[in-house]
Amino acid sequence: MPTEPNERPVVLPGYHLHPEHHSWFARVLAQADAASLMAFTGGGEPAARYLTESQGKRHFDTFTHAGTGIVQDVTHIIHGKRFVGTDHVFRLNGVRVEAFSGLAEDLFDHLREGRVQQYRHEAHALRDSWPSDPWDAKGRGPVSLHPDGTVMALRRLRLS
């Protein structure tokens, strides 16, 4: 950072990118974001397609345990919109609960097909249109919708 003539320069942590590298860096960030979204929806292998070796691609290319190798195997309709993702069932103080993490199906389809820029454009256009109601009456539980099209939903499972 600029300083007075006789002062030591102030150095901040970080990286300087020259303008000729801005588009490359934007693609790297978009790919990393796509990988995190695919992992959030339960897909290790689909996440790996967006990672480099140094980012950990090898962790998803190897054998995975059946409980961790789930590939976006569940759809739910939340606030009238279809989401693709995965769910986990666990006990919370003895009560069986399902936690669903997913992405809006139309946005998910873009990432599944490798269309990262199309996902980014549509997610950006939709960012202010997601419902803000924290309760899904049909699912009987709390939901959190994020502007990027992701959802986390919880619901109590009925005893069978």
Q: Is pLDDT at 160 greater than 90 in this prediction?
A: no
Q: Is pLDDT at 49 greater than 80 in this prediction?
A: yes
From residue 71, alpha-carbon distances to 79, 91, 120, 129, 141 in Å are: 23, 23, 22, 28, 24
3-class secondary structure, 40? helix
Average pLDDT over residues 17-23: 89
Q: What is the pLDDT of residues 79-130, one digit of tens each?
A: 999 999 988 888 988 889 999 999 999 999 999 999 999 999 999 999 999 9
Mean pLDDT of the chain: 85
Q: Is pLDDT at 52 greater than 90 in this prediction?
A: no
69 falls in which pLDDT band (50, 70, 90)?
A: low
Q: Is pLDDT at 44 greater than 70 in this prediction?
A: yes
Predicted pLDDT of residue 72: 64
The residue among 49, 48, 42 whose CA lies nearest residue 151 is: 42
Separation CA 105–CA 109 (nearest Å) = 6
48 falls in which pLDDT band (50, 70, 90)?
A: confident
| Backbone phi, psi, residue 42, to 5° | 100, 20
Q: Is pLDDT at 30 greater than 70 in this prediction?
A: yes
Predicted pLDDT of residue 57: 73
- Return the residue matching tokens 């929806």: 41
51 falls in which pLDDT band (50, 70, 90)?
A: confident
Buried b (16+ CB within 10 A) or exposed e, 10-44: eeeeeeeeeeeeeeeeeeeeebebbbebbbbbbbb
Predicted pLDDT of residue 1: 60
Q: Is pLDDT at 35 greater than 60 in this prediction?
A: yes
